[in-house]
Amino acid sequence: MVHLNISSIFRIIAKSLGLCFMKSNKLLRAAIIIAIIMLNIGCDQVSKSIVRSHIEAYSSLRFLGGHFMLTRVENTGAFLSMGDQIPGYLHAILLSIIPAAFLIWGIWYLISNTALSRATIIGICFMIGGGAGNVFDRIIHGSVTDFLYIDFPPFHTGVFNMADLSITSGVIIILIDMGMKKRKDKRIGAEQADL
């Protein structure tokens, strides 16, 4: 019987993505990192393009008894429309230029830091890909297209998009990886104390 835990699932995903070569070949490592980021950006941009071309602004399609909704909202701010009232030049600096610079730094950090775990690399790639998708929208379209809404009382979301889903998934992957590392370090510490 095969025993799979979160750690082994991450290893399988990492190996299937070629991340087993991450420490030995810098060029391959950088290409894989860029590919994962571009895959996230691509999924985000394709989904937003479909929504922009097939759903009118502020109209809605409801599914699963109204628990899942596709709606098109153009968000000129950041998360949950924060910052949408900031004046023009300051808006561009705070919501486009600074985030773009941070994303470029993040790519450099990922490529240059070989000490990161595979799961952390994947998580950061998801976060950068999602962030880049939203920054691209702000620069090209002047707003971010949000279109997904989930309502399963008492749980409900704001309207979000695939980029937000990538960012959230990246954070969750990193938190799981940190928790597993902490548990492993604790176990190793306990084993060493027993010696």
For the stretch 116-163, pLDDT in tens is 999 999 999 999 999 999 999 999 998 899 999 999 888 888 899 999
**Where residue 7 falls among pLDDT bands split at 50, 70, 90?**
low
C-alpha dihedral, 87 to 89 to 91 to 94, nearest 10°: -140
Query: Is the pLDDT score of 49 beyond 90?
Result: yes
Report the number of secondary-structure helices (H) and strands (E) in the chain. Answer: 6, 4
Distance CA(125)–CA(118), nearest Å, equals 11
pLDDT for 140 equals 92
Helix axes 26-54, 162-194, angle to 10 degrees: 140
Residue 83: partners with Cβ closer than 8 Å, 6 or more residues away: 77, 91, 94, 95
Percent of the chain with pLDDT over 90: 55
| Mean pLDDT along residues 74-79 | 76
**The pTM is what?**
0.81
Q: Which residues are catalytic?
A: 146, 164
